[in-house]
């Protein structure tokens, strides 16, 4: 009697290749589910992406530049002063414009 466990000459059939694909799908699905639910908004310091503080001086300056209250020269001059005074954390770009 021939069963699914043995194919033709007694060895496993080509269906055995399906099991690694099923396990890969389960692992990828689990990681995707975790990333979309549990891990969303978390990271090494509490968030995946650092959200700029809406009241920080650099954000206020960027908002003023974006609304046209100050021109580009004034923006860059003030941004330079703010960067010297407050400094930027490594890996974060300056200005909210």
User: Would you kindly state where each structural domain of the chain is located, as residue ranges?
Assistant: 11-42, 52-90+93-97
How confident is the model over 21-63, as pLDDT tens digits? 999 999 999 999 988 887 766 655 544 455 556 688 888 888 9
Q: What is the mean pLDDT of the chain?
A: 75
| 53-71 burial: b if 16+ Cβ within 10 Å, else e | eeeeebeebbebbeeeeee
**Closest alpha carbon to 96 in 81, 67, 84, 73:** 67
The pLDDT of 76-93, averaged and rounded, is 72
């Amino acid at each position: 009697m021939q069963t699914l466990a043995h194919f033709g000459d007694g060895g496993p059939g080509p269906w055995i290749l399906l099991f690694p694909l099923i396990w890969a799908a389960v692992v990828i699905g689990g990681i995707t589910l975790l990333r979309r639910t549990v891990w969303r908004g978390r990271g090494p310091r509490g968030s995946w992406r650092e959200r700029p503080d809406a009241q920080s001086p650099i954000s206020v300056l960027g908002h003023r530049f974006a609304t046209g209250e100050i021109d580009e020269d004034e923006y860059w001059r003030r941004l330079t002063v703010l960067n010297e005074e407050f400094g930027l954390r490594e890996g974060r770009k300056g200005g909210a414009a």
